[in-house]
Amino acid sequence: MLVVLVPSLLILMLLAASCPAVAGETSPWAAWPAMRERGGEVLVWNRAYRPGPTGLPERMRSGGRQMLASPVRLDISCGGKPLRLRPVTALKLVTKPESVTYSAESRGGGVDVTVRALIEPDGMWRVDVEIAPNAEVDLTSLRLVIPVTREHSRLLHWFPIPRNWPRVTFPESWIHPNSGARPKIWQSPFTPCVWIGDEDGGLEWFAETDEKWRPADADRALTIAEAGGAAELTAHIIEQPTRLRKPLKFTFGLQAGPVKPRPAHLRQGRFGYTHWGVFGMETKVREGTSPPVTQLDYLKGLGARFAGMHEDWTDYQGQPRVMDPGKMKSLASACHERGMGLVLYHGLVIPNILPGFEALSKDCLTEPEGANYIHAREPTQYDYPACHASRFASEWCAGIEELFEEYEIDGLYLDGAASPIPCANTKHGCGYRDASGNLRPTYPIFAARETMKRLRAICDARKRPALIVAHMSTMLTLPTLSFADLLLTGEQYWKAPDDFRPPLEFFRTESMGHNHGLPTDFIGYAPLGGEYARTIIALHNAPSSWCPGGTDMWKLYDRFDVDGAKWAGYWSKEPLATTGESNVLVSGFVHKSGRALLAVGNLNREPKQVTLSLAASVKGLRQAMDPLTQEKLDVESAKVDLELGAEQVRWIWLEPAPPRTGP
Ligand SMILES: [Zn+2]
């Protein structure tokens, strides 16, 4: 039951009032400004939210753009008649630096509707609804409608539903794409998160459970349809006649993105994260270097600022046991001497070789066993995913805090652990029995969010840049990911057929991060590696050390100074150049000093010869060269002829013509 699964709002409010952070930890909110209220509007970073008289979200502005075409509404019918609700209390916001709460009551047609809400600094807006009958009533239908502004809703993502999960992630993701262009009409069984947006921002709806839901058609529990200036997301909560004898409660949330300000240590387009570090890399010489440099210095030379180490640092997956404490300390201090940070791979899993596994697993693992990904590694073990709603999550966070204290590490790589993994383990309050007696999963979004808050606080207590890398593999859950720094996705396609290429909207939705305020690294494993990966990260301004050309981009971005430049993607109203070919696209930067850097990407699987036509904004730049090869390119009447290999990207650096000299 939901009331068991998550703490009541009252408890949350008490916690917010009396206990902002565990002793010794800072708050998780260091990245966000204090919350404010202005004339009934709640102001969070870059966003302004206004609750309506019934307490439901009425306006949600993000970066100056109105994300709601009209107020969120509950369409309720009793005895076949639509119900009209009248507010009976005036809404009063209780504003604190780290939370805004309120409640509102309305009445009509024999029911009282109470809305209690919590808004937090990252823009997470939780809404608890209670519909209480004065006497028994026949509830004909109950739908929650979120009208998202149509012009900001070209893209769509939904959480991979259990029917397809883990198949969405492994190994048939290409059959069930869950990120891409928003179709005019969409329908889905219940899924806990639906994000609608574009390349600049978006709005995510979320709910942990469909326990109380009785849609007319389980395959249409959630729908999107266009209506006027809106793309309306509808949650079909009740569509089968229901005799309402006691209050009906349900919870949902909304969060507009981007979710956080750009951190100071995101410099020149990157945090500089690299993976696959090993013990001893601070002394081992990198093969083929002349003069010889250590593996760590080699990474630093590529522009790395964080060295990530995979699971090899521990023998028990998901536990804070360090196999070689001396080597760990040596590596951490070598990183610090170089101005770098050490990041450790971690998962919310329990290995079956852990003493006490039997008891812990019964209480804490996600169920059913085998529904989610089970990891295997050496020393021989199976690592089962644990649940954020279980007691293990707290123990796990405490272990991580010890790692930070003992080894002075600088961040965490969370392999799936930032996501609300579906769970039907009733021992810790997850799951429920449906009307036919089947056990169905719930999604511990709020528990995962609390874990992430705690990890953020542990990181920020270090008082130096610390990185949370969330490997979310197509689980774009803003209320849990907003506490991460860097997202990772793309690995879900590693078993796709060789000729598979996702639609470009997939990258714009979940693989670049500009729209979420969460920089995202694409993992370019085959079949999406090689030239293709190099091209796709360039076109999306998403330099990733997991792709060929990723660290070349780091260096190029440094040379060009992208921090002093404005970026325009190939989809913008005015791209910096066009090629006349639909599959040869141009994205790029214009620096405040006037120079420009273009990425021209050929998405065809054969070479192409194109003529680039420079847009008005860069027309005056008459000197061009390929900055990777130093080859000079001719600019004639704002046109550049270019040869591109199959799926190849070419960079073009444009400068104003030198001033005329001489007579
Ligand atoms: Zn659970």
Smallest CA-to-CA distance from 474 within 72, 207, 171, 139 is with 171
Q: Is the pLDDT of residue 377 over 90?
A: yes
- The tens digit of pLDDT for each residue in 91-110 reads 999 999 999 999 999 999 99
- Give the integer Cα–Cα distance in Å for 475 and 335: 31
Task: Check residue 192 and give its pLDDT.
Answer: 96
Ligand 1 centre from 177 Cα, in Å?
26
For residues 547-557, average pLDDT: 98
Element housing 325 (H / E): helix 325-337
User: What is the torsional sign of CA 296, 301, 306, 310?
Assistant: negative
Report residue 311's pLDDT band, with 50, 70 and 90 as the boundaries. very high
CA of 436 to the centre of ligand 1 (A): 21
Tell me: the pLDDT tens digits for 171-228? 466 666 899 999 999 999 999 999 999 999 999 999 999 999 999 999 999 999 999 9
CA of 342 to the centre of ligand 1 (A): 31
Q: Give 476: exposed, middle or buried? Use CB within 10 Å, 0-12, 13-18, 19+.
A: buried
Q: What does residue 170 show for φ and ψ, rounded to 5 degrees?
A: -140, 130
pLDDT band at 661 (very low <50, low <70, confident <90, very high): low
Ligand 1 geometric centre to CA of 449 (Å) = 14
CA 43 / ligand 1 centre spacing (Å): 33
* Helical ranges in 392-465 per DSSP H: 392-407, 445-460
Query: Which residue shows structure tokens 């996702």?
Result: 502
Q: How many Å apart are CA 122 and CA 256, to the nearest integer?
A: 9
What is the Å distance from ligand 1's center to 238 Cα?
25
Whether a cis peptide bond, with omega within 30° of 0, leads into 379 is yes
Residues 579 and 608: their CA atoms lie apart, in Å, by 11
Residue 503: strand, helix, or coil: coil
Mean pLDDT of 570-576: 95
Instruction: Kindly report the average pLDDT of the chain as a whole number.
Output: 93
Dihedrals phi, psi of 30, to nearest 5 degrees: -55, -30
Res. 357 pLDDT band, cuts 50 70 90: very high
**pTM score of the predicted model:** 0.94
* Distance from the alpha carbon of residue 501 to the mean position of ligand 1, in angstroms: 35
Give the Å distance between the CA of 209 and the centre of ligand 1: 12
pLDDT-derived band at 600 (thresholds 50, 70, 90) equals: very high
CA of 484 to the centre of ligand 1 (A): 22
Span from the CA of 162 to the centroid of ligand 1 (angstroms): 14
Three-state helix/strand/coil letters over 426-452:
HHHCCCEECCCCCEECECCHHHHHHHH
Q: How far is the CA of 373 from the centre of ligand 1 (A)?
A: 15
Distance from the CA of 392 to the center of ligand 1, in angstroms?
10
Tokens linked to 308: 């990530």
What pLDDT shows up at residue 463? 86
Sign of CA dihedral 424, 429, 433, 434: negative
Continuous segment of H or E residues that includes residue 600 = strand 596-602
Residue 8: what pLDDT? 41
Residue 368's CB: how many other CB atoms inside 10 A?
15
Rounded distance from Cα 19 to ligand 1 centre (Å): 25
Confidence category of residue 165, pLDDT binned at 50, 70, 90: very low
Which residue segments constitute the domains of the chain, with CATH numbers given? 34-257 (2.70.98.10), 566-656 (2.60.40.1180)
pLDDT score for 658: 77
Whether 198 and 515 have beta carbons less than 8 Å apart is answered as: yes
pLDDT at 162: 60
pLDDT digit string (tens) for 108-135?
999 999 999 999 999 999 999 999 999 9
pLDDT digits (tens, 9 = 90+) for 461-493: 988 999 999 999 999 999 999 999 999 999 988
Count how many residues are written for the chain. Answer: 663
CA of 302 to the centre of ligand 1 (A): 42
Q: What is the mean pLDDT of residues 355-363?
A: 95
Residue 352 CA, ligand 1 centroid: distance in Å:
18
Could you write out the DSSP letters of every residue in 124-141? EEEEEEEEEESS-EEEEE
Is residue 482 within 8 Å of 518, Cβ to Cβ?
A: yes
Q: How far is the CA of 159 from the centre of ligand 1 (A)?
A: 17
Query: Rg for the chain (alpha carbons), in Å?
Result: 26
Determine the distance separating the centroid of ligand 1 and the alpha carbon of 275, expressed in angstroms: 30
Please give the structure tokens belonging to residue 641: 């002829």
* pLDDT at residue 235 tops 50: yes
CB within 5 A of ion ligand 1: which residues?
387, 389, 423, 425, 430
Please say whether the beta carbons of 394 and 450 come within 8 A: no
Structure tokens at 521: 């690294």
**What whole-number distance in Å separates Cα of residue 364 and Cα of residue 370?**
14
Instruction: Compute the distance from residue 424 Cα to the ligand 1 centre, in Å.
Output: 6
Predicted confidence band of residue 13 (pLDDT cuts 50, 70, 90): very low
The closest alpha carbon to 523, from 51, 215, 100, 173, belongs to 173
Separation of CA 428 and ligand 1 centre (Å): 6
How, if at all, do strands 467-471 and 486-489 pair? parallel
